[in-house]
Amino acid sequence: MRHEMRRRERQLDEAHASALLEKGDVCHLAMVDRGEPYLVTLNYGYRDSIMYFHCAMQGRKKDLLECGSRVCFTVVPRHELLAAEKGCDFSMKYESVVGYGAVRIIEDPEEKRRGLSIIMAQYAPGDFVFPDASLARTLVFAVDIEEFSGKSTY
């Protein structure tokens, strides 16, 4: 389901949009709960067209993720308010990525460690250890990106 961007001159090529996902630090992930939108803000890691996330082993988000439905996400790594004298003249400069994908719960402990390592690499260099006890109480999931687009007003 490809959506055409209205302001095509602002559309980024795929490589630039992917680079924005690599440098972002917060993702807004949208799901559907019994016909109602449900949006959460999460830390994430991105590599090779896959976004990795973690959360608790119980709760509304986990219940919705286990349904295996598609999700929508957005990442806005850079934005700047452009103030003006009149309220209607205010504007915003930004770069953003919006995309869709399928959720996949990661069960294999080594794949969970790899996903958590990718998340950590989004924020800090180094090698991190994820003990078995921590893995057992952490849900790690991936969003296999099916389509995405980037937009910039810079």
pLDDT tens, position by position, 42-57: 999 999 999 999 999 9
Q: What is the pLDDT of residues 60-70, one digit of tens each?
A: 999 999 887 79
Give pLDDT, residue 65: 93
Q: How confident is the model at residue 144 (pLDDT cuts 50, 70, 90)?
A: very high
**If you write DSSP's letter for every residue of 48-87 in order, what string do you get?**
TTEEEEEEESSSHHHHHHTTT-EEEEEEEEEEEEE--SSG
- The answer, yes or no, to whether residue 58 has pLDDT greater than 60, is yes
Q: What is the pLDDT of residues 92-129, one digit of tens each?
A: 999 999 999 999 999 999 999 999 999 999 999 999 99
Give pLDDT, residue 2: 62
Q: Average the pLDDT over 83-100 and give the result.
A: 96
Residue with token string 């119980």: 58
% pLDDT > 70, the chain: 97
- The answer, yes or no, to whether residue 80 has pLDDT greater than 90, is yes
42's tokens: 């999460």
Contact indicator for 93, 77 with CB cutoff of 8 Å: no
109's tokens: 């402990």
Give pLDDT, residue 1: 53
Q: What is the pLDDT of residues 8-36, one digit of tens each?
A: 777 899 999 999 999 999 999 999 999 99
| C-alpha gyration radius of the chain | 17
Neighbours of 91 (CB within 10 A): 12
Could you tell me the CA-to-CA distances from 89 to 66, 86, 94, 96 in Å, in that order? 45, 5, 16, 21
Cα separation, 127 vs 116, in Å, equals 11
Contact indicator for 114, 127 with CB cutoff of 8 Å: no
Neighbours of 103 (CB within 10 A): 20
Closest CA to 138 of 74, 54, 65: 54
Q: Average the pLDDT over 136-148 and give the result.
A: 96
> How many residues would you count in the chain?
154
Cα separation, 125 vs 148, in Å, equals 27
More confidently predicted of 37 and 9: 37
